[in-house]
């Protein structure tokens, strides 16, 4: 019933056979162990990704394995530790390694993030989780974070297990930690909070206040200490270093892809496919070698397509920056491309020069904390504005679509400022769009198309006029 789907996701026949009991248990729990759901999933995954690309299959393999592991974590391990987005990947990778070395009694992962990637772009089953989440303290219409509605819903529906310890993300936004706090009250599990103070002076980025970095770093140390107290697992400096190395490798590969797509004309692959490596950049996995292999394969496939002159938009198409990846549904990305606009890079895929300056911190955890805030969108509005301006200049963008997750409080501050900045300082047209990274009910692709069609016409006309001048 599901062999074809799993093969699209990089599984071999032998693997499917070997994993069958686990696969079926997980599918059952996710409510998709039936022909209709599998058939729908086959269509969904093909709509979201170009599954004929080997790299896509390899990266989907990592997501599918990770998803099954997350769903079955309680069945297969004594302790379950959840790390919730946005979260330092290096820290999670280090804890995963420590848990493995300690004999595997403890499972550490980022199950919710994996679930929304798989549940959204493969099975299209997030709506019931979102609806359940809306009944649990995050009512509809109040701009609650849909990512955390999925989290709440998935646990309440029994798709994901209740953890022994959640490591909550409070260093960047409030909603994450507030939802975790509610969950700990309702479901009686403990939360260790990573905390942040968000008091960066305007335009201070990338020169981050050491005091604030150290404060956040200390909360990471306290969380690691709590993991040790509960499970006996001690995360070592070497494991943290290994986590760093993996992320560095990943950054290098992602930047390769970003640079290659950005420089190519025509755009060689749909940005929809880059959702996968982007996802694995921000989500720690238990399968780092397979993930890196998938990424390297994508680099090679992109290069080959460029060499062969393949393209998904017409050559010379206007170059547009799209400010948000809709992680659970790639249709908005494909729609922009279908409108004949080139997407050289989207969201925060690109690392700008200010992010790449060498850290002066020597302590690994301090480095982790600093690294989080080095990402401009995770720092503050002035940093994000700087990022957008630098990116649009560097990639020679003709226009920008400032699509933003309306229900992400930190990201709901600066879109209008960004539009003004890009128009005034760079003289490029920009449009602000409310959208959602995790809840497809909150935007309609057709509605977006109506707004973007006229914008695309303006952008194309501008480009032609510039060329004529």
Partner 1 sequence: MDAMERLAEHLSKRRPELRQIKKDGQKIIGYPPGGYLPEEMIYASGALPLCLARGGDPEPVAESLAYIPRFIDTFCRCQIGYRVMGEEVLYQLPDLIVVPVTDINMRGIADVWDYYTDVKTFRYGVPHNKRQDALDYYIGSLRLLKEKLESFTGITITEDKLKEEIKTQNRMRELFRNISQLRQPGKTPAISTQDFLKLHHASFYADRATLREILETLYEELKQKQVEETGKPKVLLTASTLAMGDYKIFNIMNEVGGEFIFEEAAEGMMPYEHEVSLDGDPILAMADTFFMKRVVPAWFRPTRERVDYLINKAKELKVDGLMWYQLLYRDGYDIQSYSFKKEFEEVTGLPFLKLESDYDTSERGQFKTRVETFVEIMKQRGN
- The residue from 57, 138, 146, 345 that contacts partner 1 (CB under 8 A) is 138
- The residue from 103, 104, 139, 232 that contacts partner 1 (CB under 8 A) is 139
What is the pairing mode between strands 190-195 and 320-322?
unpaired
Phi-psi region of 15 (alpha: psi -120 to 50; beta: other; left: phi over 0): alpha
- How far apart (Å, rounded) are the C-alpha atoms in residues 208 and 378? 12
- The residue from 18, 174, 234, 464 that contacts partner 1 (CB under 8 A) is 174
List beta partners, residue 165: 81, 190
- Answer yes or no: are the C-beta atoms of 238 and 98 closer than 8 Å: no
* Residue 159 within binding range of partner 1, rule CB under 8 A: no
- The residue from 180, 301, 329, 349 that contacts partner 1 (CB under 8 A) is 180
- The residue from 168, 253, 277, 279 that contacts partner 1 (CB under 8 A) is 168
- The residue from 140, 143, 251, 260 that contacts partner 1 (CB under 8 A) is 143
Within 356-415, the residues that bind partner 1 by CB under 8 A are 380-382, 404, 406-407, 409-410, 412-415
- The residue from 63, 200, 246, 373 that contacts partner 1 (CB under 8 A) is 200
- The residue from 196, 268, 277, 279 that contacts partner 1 (CB under 8 A) is 196
Phi, psi of 434 (to 5 degrees): -80, 125
DSSP 413: S
* Residue 416 within binding range of partner 1, rule CB under 8 A: yes
Q: Which of 175/239 has CB closer to partner 1? A: 175
Nearest C-alpha neighbor of 144 from the set 100, 171, 179:
179
Within 430-449, the residues that bind partner 1 by CB under 8 A are 432, 434
SS3 427: coil
Q: Which stretch binds partner 1 (CB under 8 A): 208-216, 239-247, 423-431, 440-448?
A: 208-216
How many residues lie near partner 1 (CB under 8 A)? 54
Strands (E), 289-332: 320-322
* Residue 422 within binding range of partner 1, rule CB under 8 A: no
- The residue from 1, 197, 263, 356 that contacts partner 1 (CB under 8 A) is 197
Phi, psi of 32 (to 5 degrees): -125, 20
* Residue 233 within binding range of partner 1, rule CB under 8 A: no
Q: Which stretch binds partner 1 (CB under 8 A): 77-85, 170-178, 249-257, 349-357?
A: 170-178
- Give the C-alpha distances (Å, rounded to integers) separating 135 from 127, 144, 175: 13, 12, 16
- Give the C-alpha distances (Å, rounded to integers) separating 391 from 32, 345, 352, 457: 41, 9, 7, 23
User: Alpha helices, DSSP H only, in 191-236?
Assistant: 210-231
Instruction: Note the residues at the interface with partner 1 (CB under 8 A).
Output: 136-139, 142-145, 168, 170, 173-175, 177-182, 184-186, 191, 193, 195-202, 211-212, 215, 218-219, 222, 380-382, 404, 406-407, 409-410, 412-417, 432, 434
């Amino acid at each position: 019933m599901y062999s074809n789907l799993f093969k699209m996701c990089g599984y071999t026949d032998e693997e499917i056979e070997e994993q069958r009991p686990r696969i079926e248990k997980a599918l059952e729990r996710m409510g998709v162990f039936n022909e209709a759901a599998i058939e729908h999933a086959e269509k969904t995954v093909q709509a979201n990704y170009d599954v004929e690309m080997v790299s896509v299959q390899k990266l989907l393999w990592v997501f599918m394995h990770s998803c099954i592991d997350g769903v079955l974590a309680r069945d297969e391990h004594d302790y379950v530790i959840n790390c919730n987005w946005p979260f330092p990947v290096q820290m999670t990778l280090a804890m995963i390694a420590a848990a493995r070395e300690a004999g595997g009694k403890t499972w550490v992962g980022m199950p919710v993030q994996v679930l929304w990637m798989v549940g959204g772009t493969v099975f299209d089953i997030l709506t019931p989780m979102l609806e359940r989440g809306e009944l649990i303290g995050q009512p509809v219409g109040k701009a609650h974070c849909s990512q955390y509605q999925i989290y709440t819903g998935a646990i309440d529906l029994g798709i994901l297990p209740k953890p022994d310890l959640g490591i909550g993300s409070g260093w960047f936004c409030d909603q994450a930690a507030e939802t975790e706090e509610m969950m700990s009250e309702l479901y009686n599990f403990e939360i260790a909070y990573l905390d942040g103070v968000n008091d960066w002076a305007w335009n201070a980025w990338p020169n981050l206040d050491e005091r604030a970095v150290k404060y956040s770093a200390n909360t990471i140390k306290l969380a690691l200490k709590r993991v040790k107290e509960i499970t006996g697992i001690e995360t070592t400096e070497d494991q943290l270093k290994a986590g760093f190395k993996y992320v560095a490798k990943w950054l290098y590969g992602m930047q390769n892809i970003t640079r290659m797509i950005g420089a190519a004309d025509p755009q060689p692959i749909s940005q929809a496919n880059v959702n996968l490596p982007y996802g694995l950049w921000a989500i720690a996995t238990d399968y780092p070698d397979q993930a890196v292999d998938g990424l390297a394969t994508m680099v090679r496939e992109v290069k080959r397509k460029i060499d062969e002159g393949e393209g998904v938009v017409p050559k010379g198409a206007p170059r547009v920056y799209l400010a948000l990846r809709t992680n659970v549904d790639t249709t908005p990305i494909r729609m922009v491309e279908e409108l004949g606009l080139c997407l050289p890079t989207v969201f925060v895929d690109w690392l700008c020069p200010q992010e790449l300056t060498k850290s002066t911190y020597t302590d690994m955890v301090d480095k982790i904390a600093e690294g989080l805030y080095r990402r401009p969108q995770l720092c503050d509005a002035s940093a994000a504005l700087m990022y957008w301006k630098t990116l649009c200049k560097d990639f020679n963008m003709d226009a920008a679509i400032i699509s933003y997750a309306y229900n992400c409080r930190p990201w709901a501050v600066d879109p209008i400022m960004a539009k003004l900045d890009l128009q005034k300082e760079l003289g490029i047209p920009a449009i602000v769009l409310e959208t959602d990274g995790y809840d497809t009910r909150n935007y309609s692709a057709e509605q977006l198309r109506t707004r973007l069609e006229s914008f695309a016409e303006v952008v194309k006309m501008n480009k032609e006029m510039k060329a004529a001048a």
